[in-house]
Structure 1
Amino acid sequence: MSLLKNCFIVLISLIFIQCGKKNEFLIEKGNVGSLNRQTTILDLRTIFKTDSIASNSPEENESSEDKIFSLDKEEYVIFSKEGKKLLEIVPSNQNDSLSKIRSIQIFDSNYFTEKGISLKSTFKDINENYMIDKVETTLTSATLFIDELNATISIDKKELGLNTFSREEVTIDQIPDIAKIKYFTIWFN
């Protein structure tokens, strides 16, 4: 009976370990891996303790007259211990360590949605798995809005066969199935 009990405990432990590893890179509405809507900038040091965090945030002890310029957007970039860029995090409030997260841009293809969408996905993958609620065109890309994830996914105009700096509007029908993702951003607001 003791052997059966030990096997059961080992099996349950393995299940919890696997679930933890799977969720480490899972993208959902309001969640990116261990990050969620309640995560503060201060929490980043704990969550990414084995990784490296770079910030363009001014030092806390700098006075406003010592600053050469003000930031348009404060951001925190997470690098793996191998030096690979993983995420770029923008807080809701600048220069506030208790600020919640406004957005997270994904740079690592290990992050994926429940339906398997990652930076390696194509437009066809996105279109087959999520409803594209809106398409906005910028000078260099077409941005897909996916309300189900509260995400924006940008596709470079080069992938669409269009002039990079054109003002030409892009519709869903114009995007080829094989077009690749340029940027993948999750919004927490």
Structure 2
Amino acid sequence: MKFSYTFLLILSCCILMNCAGEQKNDFQISGDQVGKLTKQSLARDIDLIFEKDSVVQDTVKLNFGSGASKIKIYERGGLLLLTLTPNTDSIATIQNIQINDSRFITEKGISKESTFKEIKDKYPIKKIITSLNNVVVLLKNSDLYFTIDKKELPESLRYNANSKIEEVQIPDNAKVKYMMIGWD
């Protein structure tokens, strides 16, 4: 009798540890993977990949056969996890991913809640692109990139879209507006 209780206890612990590991992997970002999604995932399989979540697509575009322009993945509780943009190939894969949930985290511990200092301490910066309202930070050897609102910059840099902004000009405490992945 004691053996069966011990066996049940060990089996329960193993199941719980497996579930915890699966949950962690659901929010892990690595080179070719974002949670359950891989670089090779087909857009048509999104409903299967996120079967436990809610997938919202543009039904007007789907009815005309041109594919969804954006696919939003919501957790069952209603929290937006990811916004996906498929490419326009005949066999569409995911081209861009916007990380909407701060539980998604890179192998080096970066999430959408990270500051510019945390990013530059963990990843080498390849290039900084200035737009009208934002600054886009591209990383070396990575498909991951970040958008920082110009409101996070010193006032002298906010209003000139043509100015070239250098890494040293971005404050360490600048918050990330968007965390994105661009797959070719």
Give TM-score, length-normalised by structure 2.
0.84
Report the number of matched residues: 180
Structure 2 segments unaligned to the other structure (5+ residues) = none
Residue by residue, what CA displacement relative to the aligned partner does 1:101-152 show, whole Å, maximum 9, x if unpaired? 1111111111111111111100011011111111111111111111343111
Partner of residue 22, structure 1: 24
2: CA distance, partners of 1:145 / 1:62:
35
SS of 2:103 mapped into structure 1: coil
Q: Relative to 1, partners in 2 of residues 1:57 and 1:93: Cα closer, same or farther, differing over 3 Å?
A: farther
Q: Pick from 118, 122, 145 the counterpart of residue 129 of structure 1.
A: 122
1:157 is aligned to: 150
Note the C-alpha offset of 1:3: 6.7
Structure 2 distance, partners of 1:52, 1:4, is: 39
Tell me the secondary structure at the aligned position of residue 144 of structure 1.
strand
Cα gap change, 1:19 to 1:170, in 2 (>3 Å): same
Taking the aligned partners of 1:2 and 1:81, their CA distance within structure 2 comes to 36
Q: Offset of 1:50 from its aligned partner?
A: 3.0
Q: Is the 8 A contact 2:61 2:69 kept in 1?
A: no
**Distance in 1, Cα, partners of 2:64 & 2:84:** 22
Q: Is residue 128–residue 165 contact of structure 2 (8 Å, CA) maintained in 1?
A: yes
Query: 5+ residue gaps in structure 1?
Result: 64-69
TM-score, with length taken from structure 1: 0.82
* Counterpart Cα distance in 2 of 1:52 and 1:11: 29
Pairs within 5 Å for 1:1-189: 9-56=11-58, 58-62=60-64, 74-93=69-88, 98-161=91-154, 162-164=157-159, 166-189=161-184
**Whole-angstrom distance in 2 between the partners of 1:80 and 1:20:** 15
Deviation at 1:60, TM superposition (A): 4.7
Return 28-37 or 145-154, whichever deviates more: 145-154
* Cα distance, 1:8–1:93 mapped onto 2, change above 3 Å: same
Once the two structures are superposed, residues 6-34 of structure 1 have per-residue CA deviations (whole angstroms, 9 ceiling, x without a partner) of 66544443432222111101111111100
Would you tell me which structure has more helix in proportion to its own residues? 2
**What is the CA-CA distance between 1:61 and the residue it aligns to?**
4.7
Whichever residue aligns with residue 106 of structure 2, its letter is T
Kindly provide the CA deviation profile for residues 134-187 of structure 1, in whole angstroms up to 9, marking residues without a partner as x.
Answer: 111111111111134311101111101232563221110101000000111112
